Amino acid sequence: MPLLSVDELTVTFTARGRRDVRAVSGVSFSVDQGEVVGLVGESGCGKSVTSLALMGLLPKRGVTVGGRAEFDGTDLFGLGDAKLREMRGSQLAMIFQDPLSSLNPVVPIGVQVTEILSRHRGLKGEAARKEAAHLLDRVGIPDPRRRLKEYPHQLSGGMRQRALIAMAVACAPRLLIADEPTTALDVTIQAQILELLKELVDEEGTALLMITHDLGVVAGLCDQVNVLYAGKTVESAGRRELFASPTHPYANGLLGSIPRLDAPRGEPLRPVRGSINDQIAWADGCAFAPRCDHYTLECLQGTPELTEPRTPGHQVRCVNPVLSPVGAGDVAVIEAPHIVTGLETGLETGPETGPEAGPGTEQPAPGAVTAVAAAAPATGEPSGEAGTVPTVEPAGKPAPGADVTTAGGAAPRTVTQARDGEEPGGEPAAPSAAGEEPTEAGS
């Protein structure tokens, strides 16, 4: 049984005189003991709200939380205030995005650490201070005794985040929720913080729910990834599976939007167009349709269901999933050493710091990432898998990307460019290599 299982979580914000806003509309996932699960998506997709709902930190008024969340057999949403307070900080703990604003500016760090120790572990006075110093030391804050007396503004950004982590792990919680813990930090500090988190997770067997928009973080840390869009899970898979074959057009676009160092000069970047649009609700059809390159009329026939079009356990909520031919990955395997820039941090810190990181585990990661490129040709290829490549009458699209229908026009915006497609030489060799990668990763 998973440690945390979230089933059809919905969060609705209601305000008088305004339209209800459904920030989360049916998110399901589970986290096992010691597992790192990622919730990925752009701002506004509901990932932070999901975490706050699990912690019971959403405001009571104007917010309706639906669905179920079971933590070790207890229903989190059915708990009374006292019991919930008892669990928060001791069983479930959270690390927030902005370490400066998340620390009380007028209370010394020491008090902010000891207060949780005295609350849940009954430590008082010198014993609490000693333990607090030990915690600060453990998260890599030098000279912890002095730091205890200091105020948040006297610490550097990375130091503050370490202090927050120290508070979160103070009572050895079984589940740690990290809401974009590295977003507000410099890249070098980001890597250190991720490393620290990984270390803590590995040593304590704490489960970690990682909320992020940074695919690099996901690649480096997560075992299982859930991609959220407009409050719904659109794709859920193991890390390697997802990076090897992103199947929902949104996930596919996300991975394709990362700039590549090995792309030819002058190659345009390929953003996922537009932004989350709350004009279309999931009830009307797929909320991603207005931004999607592959939409068809079926997209608007009610909410798409989660299906497993590719491999068991790899769930996708799309009627026109991006199913590349199994062998497409091989092109990328050839190019494996050229890593995508955005993923470097995550990749490098990830496997190195993990205790089990050996050559065996290290290898699939780069392969998995570059497979992004491999997965792509199919999306732009009009002939190969014609059945799955969605086409829409040009009349319906006044937007800049109006020429999706023609293969040539699609190429620059879909995940991989014509260059990859033009190298058919790689294809025969591919199936074995690329086909095995995800499986190996999954085991």
Partner 1 sequence: MSTKTDKIDRLAELTAQTETSTGHSLAYEAFRRLRASKMAVIGACIIAVFVVLAVLGPWIAPYSPTAQAWRGEVLPAQSVFVGPRGENWLGLDHLGRDEFSRMLVGARQTLLVGVVSTLLGFTVGCLIGVGAGAAATLGGRLGRRIDTVVMRFIDMLLALPSLLLAVSVAAVLGQSLTTVMIAVGVVQIPIFARLLRGAMLAQGGSDYVLASQALGVRKRRIVLGHIVPNSLSPVIVQATLSLATAIIEAAALSYLGLGNPDAAVPEWGVMLAQAQRFFDAAPMLAVYPSVGIIITALGFTLLGEAMREALDPKLRS
Partner 2 sequence: MLRLVVRRLLQLIPTLLGLSVLLFLWLHKLPGGPAAAMLGERATAADRIRIERALGLDQPLWVQYGRFLKRLGELDLGTSTQTGQPVWEEFVQRFPATVELSVFAMLLAIAVGIPLGYFAARRRGGWLDVSAVSGSLLGICIPVFFLAFILKAIFAVNLGWFPSFGRQTTGLNATEVTGFYVLDGLLTGELDAAWDALVHLVLPAMALASIPLAIIVRMTRASVLEVLGEDYVRTAESKGLHRRVVRGRHVLRNALLPVVTVIGLLTGSLLSGAVLTESVFAFGGIGSFLRTAIDARDYPVLVGFIMFIALAYVVLNLLVDLAYNLIDPRVRVH
Residues within the interface to partner 2 (CB under 8 A): 52, 55, 57, 81, 84-90, 93-94, 96, 98, 101-108, 111, 115-116, 119-120, 151, 153, 164, 167
275: contact with partner 1 by CB under 8 A: yes
- Residue 272 sits at φ, ψ, to 5 deg, of -80, 120
Binding residue (CB under 8 A) for partner 1 from 106, 264, 395, 443: 395
Min separation Cβ 12 and partner 1, Å: 17
Q: Which CB, 208 or 215, lies closer to partner 2? A: 208
Q: Which CB, 148 or 164, lies closer to partner 2? A: 164
| CA torsion angle 371 38 356 341 (round to 10) | 40
**Coil, strand or helix: which one is 13?**
strand
Nearest to 405 by CA among 426, 382, 424, 434: 382
Binding residue (CB under 8 A) for partner 1 from 78, 259, 358, 396: 396
Angle, helices 109-120 vs 157-169, to 10°: value is 10
Min separation Cβ 402 and partner 1, Å: 10
Q: Work out what residue 131 binds among partner 2, partner 1, none; the CB cut-off runs from 5 to 8 Å by kind.
A: none
Q: Which CB, 57 or 261, lies closer to partner 2? A: 57
Nearest to 289 by CA among 311, 272, 307, 308: 272
Angle at 203 between CA 202 and CA 208, to 5 degrees: 45
282: contact with partner 1 by CB under 8 A: no
Min separation Cβ 291 and partner 1, Å: 6
Min separation Cβ 60 and partner 2, Å: 12
Beta bridge partners of 10: 25, 66
Angle at 238 between CA 232 and CA 172, to 5 degrees: 85
- The torsion region of residue 26 among left (phi > 0), alpha (psi -120 to 50) and beta comes to left
280: contact with partner 1 by CB under 8 A: yes
**Coil, strand or helix: which one is 82?**
helix
409: contact with partner 1 by CB under 8 A: no
Min separation Cβ 370 and partner 2, Å: 38
Min separation Cβ 121 and partner 2, Å: 12
